[in-house]
Amino acid sequence: MQLMKTNTEDILFSIVIATYNRADFIERAIDSVLAQTYANLELIVIDDGSQDNTKDKVLSYQDNRIKYQYQDNKGRSEARNLGIELSTGRYINFLDDDDYLLPDFLQEFYVAISNKKFPIAVFMCDQREINNQGKTIEAQEKDFIENNNAKFILKYAYNIQPLCISREILREEKFDSKYEIGEDFHLLFRIVFKYPIYYFPKTLCVYVNHDSMTMERELKDLLFMTYPYNRLDVINYFFEKHKDLLDKNNVTTLLSNKYNKIAYFYASQAIKTKHFSYGLKIINSIKWEGNKLLFIYYKLSIYVRALIYSIVK
């Protein structure tokens, strides 16, 4: 059933897809939007300088709900921000070009939002993660953490796809274009200190884990050592700019643990690839505010392996 209007308030969703050279994936993402049982939507596709036939794929659709906009390559954050500017919906969802929505995604969000009387807020569902073969990797409902949005997001929000965000919020808070990686967490974690989050445990979208994903490219091409800003810089932003909010919301330790876990992962990759100085630099940046036992383990592990690998070399 397609729900176009309501007796109380007409709601329009804007779905923004930022894409770059993903002609092989973009049709699945678009098809999943057009197949929504709630049809009062607009789809904004921002082509961030693609050099393949992405444009042809998008323009082949004969549906006036689709808006296509090309820009010179400026990165995912700038593309999403342009999508926000072009949107007219009261609530905005960001769909990655290699992921897709299940048919009742917007219908269920409509129900959740209307039950709360259309607030200026963030709404969040669950998502299923699958691999290249379509096998489910993860599909876990979350335990909502009452009265601590920051702790809930820190524990459960891996990307921005399972969320619908009020356009009023995104007029104030935009993606920071200097962050090439982790920009969605950076935006969301800024938002949760100011606005409410409403979570409902229904799996409504699919996150596809494949070889061309950012994390895979980071490891294969050692991008984590060449990006001027990465996931660690995103987290450091909050320690440098909002330490008082971290302490107030009792998430300093949790965010330190997140930082240390990522730092240990990157340091391990650096050591394995014989980039010893970079690995030691990363591990020396870990934060004592986190789990003390893990802090000691991470440091000793990297130091010992660096010593062993350097002797072997």
pLDDT of 7 over the 80 cut: no
Q: What is the mean pLDDT of residues 27-39?
A: 97
Q: What is the mean pLDDT of residues 47-61?
A: 96
| Beta bridge partner(s), residue 130 | 136, 208
Supply the mean pLDDT for the chain: 88
Tens-digit pLDDT profile for residues 237-281: 999 999 999 999 999 999 999 999 999 999 998 898 888 989 999
Q: What is the mean pLDDT of residues 21-43?
A: 95
Run of H or E including 256:
helix 252-272
pLDDT of 139 over the 60 cut: no
- The domain limits of the chain are 13-210, 215-312
The label of the residue with tokens 């009062």 reads: 40
Query: In this structure, are residues 263 and 283 in contact, taking their beta carbons and an 8 Å threshold?
Result: yes
d(CA 80, CA 68): 13
Confidence category of residue 135, pLDDT binned at 50, 70, 90? confident
Q: What is the pLDDT of residue 188?
A: 94
Q: What is the pLDDT of residue 1?
A: 31
Residues with Cβ within 8 Å of 64's Cβ and at least 6 positions away in sequence, in order, are: none
pLDDT of 18 over the 80 cut: yes
Confidence category of residue 2, pLDDT binned at 50, 70, 90? very low
Q: What is the pLDDT of residue 30?
A: 98
Which CATH number does 13-210 carry? 3.90.550.10
Highest mean predicted confidence (pLDDT) among 21-25, 106-110, 151-155: 106-110
- Alpha-carbon torsion angle 244, 287, 144, 214, nearest 10: 110
Tens-digit pLDDT profile for residues 185-241: 999 999 999 999 999 999 999 998 765 555 555 666 666 676 655 789 999 999 999
d(CA 43, CA 46): 10
262 vs 131 pLDDT, higher one: 262
Helix axes 292-312, 276-283, angle to 10 degrees: 170
pLDDT of 142 over the 80 cut: no
Q: What is the pLDDT of residue 215?
A: 58
Tens-digit pLDDT profile for residues 62-102: 999 999 999 999 999 999 999 999 999 999 999 999 999 99
